[in-house]
Amino acid sequence: MDSFKVLLIDDESELVETLVERLGYRGVTAKYTTSGREALRMMTDEVFDIIVLDLKMPGMSGEEVLKEMKNRNIETPVLLITGHGAPIDEMDEKIDGVADYLAKPISLEELIAKMKESIRSE
Amino acid sequence: MTSIDNDQEQLLREKSLAFFGAITASVSHELNNVISIIDQTAGLLEDLLYGTQQGRPIQNERLERIATRVRKQTQRGVGIIKRLNRFAHSVDDPVGEFELNNLIENLTALNQRFASLKRVNLETHYSDEPINIVSSPFLIQQVLFLCIKMALDASQENDTIIVIIDSDDDGVKMSVMGRKLEQNENELYSDYLDQLMTIMGGKIEVKSDDNQSVFKILIQRSK
């Protein structure tokens, strides 16, 4: 897999802005939004290979975005980002429709590896 | 403070831990965001440094913007830690003298994340004069937290929840105003809130009209 297109959704704008720039240096085409509703509009307007979605967001939460993606038959794989300090395998909230999970603070290398793996598994 | 029996003490312990846990979990999420931004910004600097080694110079303005971002997030983190520290120390003494506006300012700031996750405005109106009281700072915060939680649970996007702190000859008054509570929402914590108010020698009532519900909390200045 040489290149792919990702949509990052997180209400922490400085985090996603930085991630978009750093992914760009690594040949990944990335766009971002800080709003779940805007994310759904972007997913309707263009095709992404993978969605990276924050679980806890003001207004429309990550879970609500997932639910709405299902309603709209958007089948793009989703990597769910959580603010949990605990390792992912200790999480008690595995959510339907999620390809994989990542805990903040995110390692960029791990993010890229998990994005590639999730796209490959589709 | 009014004494309580073993069952009440057990309930108080469980609910108090739940309150403490809710606040610290929320703060840890927010701190995680701060650390994440600083971590990625450090990574960005490494990327830019690598670029200079490949012949792509960094503009000074770019470095200044990055430094500003790190400083802003550091200040954000310091603010969060200060609030958590003040909150943690509010359990040092079961009863003590404190200034109520300061205590509530800290608590409502810690509650802002819960409100912003629901896109609800949380406004606090403080008394014009300082209110020095002798009471349980931790129990007062717990009462107010539960009232705000019930108001938030009943709220809708873009609602405003208003907290008012005031005092007169009768004692200290705190009000929490929000969207009208349904009967089951109203009953959710009512027994426990009554119990907390009894311990503190105060009282709480909820008044509702067609549109809004108001929690009215009355606490003695010295107990």
Q: Which of B89, B106, B121 is the last residue of a domain?
A: B89
In a domain, B145, yes or no: yes
What's the structural domain count of chain B? 2
B171: left (phi over 0), alpha (psi -120 to 50) or beta: left
**Which among A48, A51, A88, A83 has a CA at the least distance from the CA of A66?**
A51
The A residues from 78 to 117 touching B (CB cutoff 8 Å) are 83, 85, 104-106, 108
Does the distance separating the beta carbons of A85 and B119 come in below 8 Å?
Answer: no
In a domain, B168, yes or no: yes
Which run of H or E residues covers position B160?
strand B160-168
- Whether B107 contacts B14, CB under 8 Å: no
In a domain, B150, yes or no: yes
Model confidence at A93, pLDDT cuts 50, 70, 90, reads: low
Interface of B with A (CB under 8 A): 28-29, 32-33, 35-37, 39-41, 43-44, 47, 51, 69, 73, 116-119, 157
pLDDT score recorded for residue B24: 95
Q: What is the DSSP letter of A83?
A: -
Domains of chain A, earliest start first = 5-121 (3.40.50.2300)
From chain A, pick out residues whose CB is under 8 angstroms from the CB of B36.
Answer: 12, 15, 104-106
Same domain (yes/no): B185, B81: no
Of the candidates A58, A59, A83, the beta carbon closest to that of B32 is on: A83
Top pLDDT among B162 and B170 is at: B162
Q: Which of B73, B89, B105 is the last residue of a domain?
A: B89
Tell me the shortest Cα–Cα distance from B22 to chain A, in angstroms: 13
- Cα A80 to chain centroid distance, Å, stands at 6
What's the domain range around B32? 6-89
In a domain, B110, yes or no: yes
β-sheet with B203-208: strand ranges across: B121-125, B160-168, B171-179, B212-219, B203-208
Same domain (yes/no): B172, B141: yes
Same domain (yes/no): B151, B179: yes
pLDDT score recorded for residue A1: 61
Task: Give the whole-angstrom CA distance, residue B49 versus residue B42.
Answer: 11
From chain B, pick out residues whose CB is under 8 angstroms from the CB of A54.
Answer: none
Q: Which of B89, B105, B122 is the last residue of a domain?
A: B89
- Whether A79 contacts A16, CB under 8 Å: no
Helix then strand count (H, E) for chain A reads: 4, 5
Q: What is the CATH number of the domain that holds B128?
A: 3.30.565.10
Q: Which residue of A has its CA nearest to B65?
A: A14
* pLDDT higher than 80, residue B104: yes
Q: What is the DSSP letter of B222?
A: B
In a domain, B19, yes or no: yes
Long-range Cβ pairs for the range B182-189 (8 Å, 24+): B182/B154, B185/B150, B185/B153, B185/B154, B186/B150, B186/B213, B188/B150, B188/B153, B189/B146, B189/B149, B189/B150
- Residue type at A120 in one-letter notation: R
In a domain, B76, yes or no: yes
Same domain (yes/no): B188, B118: yes
CA atoms within 13 A on the CB side of B180: 7
In a domain, B1, yes or no: no
Does the distance separating the beta carbons of A83 and B28 come in below 8 Å?
Answer: yes
* pLDDT higher than 80, residue A90: no
Same domain (yes/no): B132, B205: yes
Same domain (yes/no): B70, B136: no
Same domain (yes/no): B171, B194: yes
Q: Tell me if chain B has a CB within 8 Å of the CB of A25.
A: yes
Q: Which residue of B has its CA nearest to A19?
A: B40
CA atoms within 13 A on the CB side of B41: 22
- Summarised one tens digit per residue, pLDDT across range B175-220 is 999 999 987 776 777 889 999 999 998 999 999 998 999 999 999 8
Average pLDDT of span B43-72:
96
Same domain (yes/no): B28, B114: no
In a domain, B144, yes or no: yes
Task: Give the whole-angstrom CA distance, residue B70 versus residue B72.
Answer: 5
Average pLDDT of span B53-74:
96
Same domain (yes/no): B107, B188: yes
Same domain (yes/no): B130, B54: no
Same domain (yes/no): B107, B172: yes
Model confidence at B106, pLDDT cuts 50, 70, 90, reads: very high
**Which among A28, A29, A32 has a CA at the least distance from the CA of A13?**
A32
Same domain (yes/no): B142, B201: yes
